[in-house]
Structure 1
Amino acid sequence: MVLLVGGVTLLAILLRHLCAQLRFPALVGYILIGLGLRLSHDVIPIMDPAVRGAFDLLAALGLVALLFRVGLGSNPQRLLAKLPGASVIWLISVIVSGGVGYYAARWIGFDMVPSLVAGVALTATSIGVALPPWQAAGALGSEQGSLVLDVAELDDISGVVLMALLLGIIPTLTAGNGVAWGGVLTTGAGLLTSLAAFAAGCYIFARWLEPPLTRALVQHERAPARMLIVVAMGSLIAALAGMLGFSLAIGALFAGLMFSKAPRRIHRDRAYIVLYDFLSPFFFIGIGLKLEPAALTGALGAGGLLLVAAVLGKVIGTALPARLVAPRGSALVIAVSMVPRAEIAMVIVDQAGRYGSEVVPPTLYGAMTMVTLATCALTPAVVERLLAAQPTGPPDANGPNQVSAGR
C-alpha cells in the first residue's frame, strides 16, 4: 500500500510536468494513472481490498481538496456585483447545456436517471482548463476575461447545487414504483429547505466568526499551522454536510466559500498548496480506477455523441446571450472557454455513481470520462487561436480575479 501510494505520487508529479509541456491539463495524466492501475490489476493483483480502501480514502480527501479550493477561489461579493450581466449568460447556458446533454443521453439509449446525471454534469465547466490562453494573451483582466471568470464561477456553484438536488431525488426516482412526481417535488423542496438552512449557517459563520478567527490565526499562528486549522475546519464542515444528507462536495464548496474573504496570506499558504497538490490527483486517479475496461469500447460511441452535445450545449447556450451583454466580437471565445468539463462534471458523475450502475452505468461513466479528456485536451488551443484573432484588454496582474484564476 505504501509502495503504491508513494509510487503513484511520484508518477503524478512527473505526468503533471509532462502534461504541462504538452499543454494538456494534468488531470488527463491522473486519470490515465488510475486506468493503468486498473488494467495492471488484471495481470498482477495489486489492488487488494485494503489497498483499494486506501485509494478510496485518498480520493475522498482529494474531492474535499478540489471543492474547497473552488469555494476558496470564489468571491461571492464580486459575483453579486457582477450578477446582472453574468447571470443572463449563466442561466441560459445552464438550461441549454443541461437540456442538450439530457436529450442526447436519452437519444443514445440511457434511461431517465442516467440521462439526468449526464445533463447535470454537462451544465458545469472548468475555467482552469481554458485559463492559460487568456493569461498568455494578457486578457484576463479585460472585460471579457472578467466575464468568463464570473460565468464559470456561477457554473461551478450551480453545478454543485444541482448535484445536491439530483442526489436527493435519485432514491425517489429509482424506488421501482414508477416516477411519482409529487414525491420528487416534496423531496426536492425538503432538500432545498435543508440546503438553505445549511447555507444560512455557513453565512453566519462567514459573516461574524470567520473574520476574528482568521485575524487570530494570522497574529498568533505561523505557517503551516494556521492553514492546517482552516483545512481541518473545512473537512469538518464537509463531513457535516455528508452527515446531513448532502455530499462531501457540497460541504467542501461551502467551507471554501466561508473562508473566501480570508487574508491573502491564508489563501496562498504553502502548506495548503502542498496538501492540495498531494491530495487532488487521487480524485482523478480514483476515476480511472472505476473505469470498466470492458465498457470502454462501448463508451466510444456514447462518448462521441456526448462530446458533440457538450460542445454544442455550451457554445450555443453561452454565445447567444453573450452577444447581448458581452463586448462586441467576444461571444464566441467566451462560449468556447466554457466548453471544458473537468473536476465539477466528474464530481457529479462520481457522486451519482455511488448509487450503483442503475444510476451511472459503466458505459456512461466511461463516456463522461472521454468527454472530460477530449474537452480538456482540445479547448485551450482553440481558445488561443480565437484570442489571437481579436484585440484583447490589458493584463491585470493584481486584479481581484487572481485568486479565482489560481484554480
Structure 2
Amino acid sequence: MAWEANATPDALLVLLVGGATLLAVVLRHLCERIKLPPLVGYILIGLGLRLTDGILPILQPSVMAAFELLAALGLVALLFRVGLGSDPYRLLEKLPGASLIWAVSVIVSGMAGYYAARWAGFDAVPALVAGVALTATSIGVSLPPWQAAGVLRSERGSLVLDVAELDDISGVVLMALLLSLIPTVTAGGAIDWGGVGMTTVSILASLAAFTAACWLFAHWLEPPLARFLATRERSPARMLIVVAIGSLIAALAGILGFSLAVGALFAGLVFSKAPRRVRQDRAYIVLYDFLAPFFFIGIGLKLEPAALTGALGAGGILLIAAVAGKLIGTALPALWTAPKGSALVIGMSMVPRAEIAMVVVDQAGRYGDDVVPPALYGAMTLVTLVTCAVTPSAVQHMLKGGSTGRGQSRPAR
C-alpha cells in the first residue's frame, strides 16, 4: 500500500502516540460521564490498536518497542503515585485497627485466586500469579461514591483507606517475592524447597536493606532537598528533579531484581511526607496524565484477540473468586473491628482490581507464556474491567442505604 511505503517508523510512531494520547483524553472524559474508571477506556485503546494491526500492519517492532517504553514509564508513574499517597508513619499508628482485616483479606483473596485458577485449568505457577494479583485492591475506583456520600473522612472511610493502602503495599512486596522465585520454581524437575527458602530469605534481606536505604534518604536527605527546591527552583524544574530522583530509585530496584514497580512504590514513599506539594504541582499532573494511560494501553496491546474468547470461562471463575475473596476476607474480620453495619460496604469497596493486580500479571508475564498464558492474561484483564465497572455503583447503592454519619475525621494530608 502507498501509505506503508511513505510512512517511516518515526512518523508512524508519532502518529500512534499522538492519536492514543488524544483518545485517552477523550475516553477519560467519556468514562467519567458514564461513571466508569478511565482505565477501561485506556485498555480498549490498546486492544483497538491490536485489532487494527490485524488489518493494517501498524505495530512495527520499533513502534512496539516505543510503546513498551511508554508503558514502563506509565508503570513507574502509577506506582509512584500509590507510594506518594501512603503515609508509613500513619499506617503504623493505624496498624492495630486495620491489620486484622488486612491480613485476613490478603490470605483469603490470595487463596481464592490460586484455587480458582487451578480449577480453571492453569498450572501451579500461573495460579500463584493469579493469587498474588488478587490480593491487592484498587481503592481509587471505589472512592468517588464515598466522597459523594460525604463519608470518606468518617471512621469507616478511614478504615477502608488504611486497609487498601496496606493491601497495595503488601501486594507489591508479594510481587517482589514472586518475581524472585519464578526462575527457581520454573527451572524444571523437582522443586528444591531448600533453595526456594534460601532465595526467599535472601530477597527479604535485600528488600529490608533497600527499605532502610529509602528510609534514610527520606529522613535525612528529602527534607533539606525539599527546602532547597522550594527556594532555588521553579516549577517545572523543581518537579523534574523529583521525577528524576524517583526514576533513579525505581531503576535501582529493577537492577537489584525487585522490578521497576517495587522501586517506584518506594520512590513515592520517600516523598510521601508532603504528598500535596508534589501531587498539586502542575508539572506533575501533566506528566502523570500523559504517562499513566500508556500502562493500560500496553495491557490492551498485549491481549491476543483469539485468546479473549477462551479467557471468558477462566475470567468468570476468577471474577467469582475476586469478588468472594475480598467480600468474605474483608467483611468477616470487619464485623469485629469496623463500625457497626459497615462490614459489607467495606468489603465491597475492596473488590476492584486495577493497577496493582495488572502490574503483577504484567511483570510476571515477562517470564513467558508458561508463567502467564494468554488465557490468564485475558482472564485477569476481564476481572479488572468488570470489577472496576460494576463496583462503584454497588458501593454507592450500599452507602445510600446505610448511615452517612461522619464520625472521626481523617487527618488532612
TM range (shorter): over 0.9
Q: 1:329 aligns with which of 331, 341, 358?
A: 341
* Alignment match of 2:406 (pick from 394, 397, 407): 394
Cross-structure match for 1:382? 394
Matched, 1:159 2:188: no
C-alpha deviation, 1:399, in angstroms: 4.8
Structure 1 match to 2:295: 283
Q: How many residues align?
A: 401
- Computed over aligned residues only, the root mean square deviation of the Cα atoms, in angstroms, reads 1.2
Query: Which of 379-388 and 260-269 deviates more?
Result: 260-269
Corresponding residue to 1:230 among 242, 258, 280: 242
Q: Percent identity?
A: 75
Counterpart in 1 of 2:62? 50
- Paired residues of 1:120 and 1:348 also in contact (CA < 8 A): yes
Q: Deviations over 1:141-172 (max 9, x none)?
A: 00000000000000000000000000000000
2:327 matched residue in structure 1: 315
Partner of 1:261: 273
**What amino acid is aligned across from residue 195 of structure 2 in structure 1?**
G
Match of 1:29 among 18, 34, 41: 41
Aligned to 1:82: 94
The residue that corresponds to 1:183 in the other structure is: 195
Q: 1:64 aligns with which of 58, 72, 76?
A: 76
Match of 1:343 among 336, 352, 355: 355
Query: CA offset at residue 224 of structure 1?
Result: 1.3
Q: Distance in 2 between matches of 1:228 and 1:262?
A: 17
Unmatched runs of 5 consecutive residues or more in structure 2: 1-12
Distance between the aligned counterparts of 1:136 and 1:309, measured in 2?
29
Cα distance between partner residues in 2 of 1:289 and 1:272: 26
* AA aligned opposite 2:374: P
In structure 2, which of residues 213, 231, 252 is the aligned counterpart of residue 219 of structure 1?
Answer: 231
User: CA deviation digits over 1:182-240, x for unaligned, max 9?
Assistant: 11111111111100000000000011111111111111111111111101100010001
The runs of 4+ residues in structure 1 deviating greater than 4 Å are none
* CA contact 1:143–1:393 (8 Å) conserved in 2: no
The answer to whether the 8 Å contact 1:226/1:266 transfers is no
Q: Report if the CA contact (8 A) 1:124-1:344 is conserved.
A: yes
Match of 2:154 in 1: 142
Displacement of 1:263 after TM fit?
Answer: 6.3
Contact 1:104 1:309 (8 Å CA) reproduced: yes
Contact 1:214 1:262 in 2 (8 A): no
Q: Secondary structure at the match of 2:33?
A: helix
Q: How far apart are 1:395 and its partner, in Å?
A: 8.9
Q: Is the 8 A contact 2:146 2:399 kept in 1?
A: yes
Question: Residue in 1 aligned with 2:381?
Answer: 369
Distance 2:276 2:382 in 1: 36
Amino acid of the structure 1 residue aligned with 2:267: A
Q: 1:395 to 1:17 in 2, by over 3 A?
A: farther
Of residues 192, 215, 224, the one that matches 2:204 is: 192
Retained in 1: the 8 A contact 2:158–2:410?
no
Structure 1: gaps spanning 5 or more residues: none
Q: 1:210 aligns with which of 208, 222, 225?
A: 222
3-state SS of 1:43 partner: coil
Distance between the aligned counterparts of 1:146 and 1:277, measured in 2?
27
Equivalent residues of 2:97, 2:337 under 8 A apart: yes
